[in-house]
């Protein structure tokens, strides 16, 4: 079973390859979209690479849930994620730091849930399951 350091190193390598970023940019707190410049198609690339690196299967939407803030989801009001929405996120994304989002639950902050650490958390849960 890989240690947390091993997981972090492999995740870092994955992001360097998938996003063409330097190793010093990939810090645990770095956000994929804001800091590392990831676009939607990069998430598919990252999933492919993680599956290979860790020999796991990542079902669609498990690591990066889609349509989190869809207008008809009922989880958004006045540009903010509602309490129900936050609870939904907690349930869907136990690997993400939803409490941080709760401090300033603007819709545009949802993408900040996607951090390097979030991927590591996800992988840790997956390989230790």
Task: Indicate the residue among 63 and 110 with the shorter CB distance to another protein.
Answer: 63
The reply on whether position 4 binds another protein by CB under 8 A is no
What values do phi and psi take at 33, rounded to 5? -80, -55
The reply on whether position 63 binds another protein by CB under 8 A is no
Residues in the chain: 129
Q: Which span (2-10, 13-21, 24-32, 82-90) binds another protein, by CB under 8 A?
A: 13-21
Virtual torsion, Cα 116, 120, 125, 126, nearest 10 deg: 100
The reply on whether position 45 binds another protein by CB under 8 A is yes
The reply on whether position 125 binds another protein by CB under 8 A is no
Q: Binding another protein by CB under 8 A: which of 20, 74, 79, 94?
A: 20
Binding stretches for another protein (CB under 8 A): 17-18, 20, 40-42, 44-45, 47-48, 51-52, 60
């Amino acid at each position: 079973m890989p240690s947390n350091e091993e997981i972090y190193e492999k995740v870092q390598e994955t992001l360097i390859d998938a996003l063409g970023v330097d190793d010093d940019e990939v810090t645990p707190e770095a956000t994929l979209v804001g800091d590392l410049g990831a676009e939607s198609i990069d998430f598919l690339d990252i999933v492919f690479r993680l599956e290979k690196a860790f020999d796991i299967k990542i079902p669609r939407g498990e690591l990066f849930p889609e349509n989190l803030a869809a207008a008809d989801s009922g989880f958004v009001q006045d540009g903010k994620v509602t309490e129900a929405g936050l609870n939904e996120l907690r349930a869907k994304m136990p690997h993400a730091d939803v409490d941080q989002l709760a401090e300033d639950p603007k819709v545009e902050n949802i993408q900040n849930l996607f951090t390097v650490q979030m991927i590591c958390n996800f992988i840790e849960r997956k390989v230790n399951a």
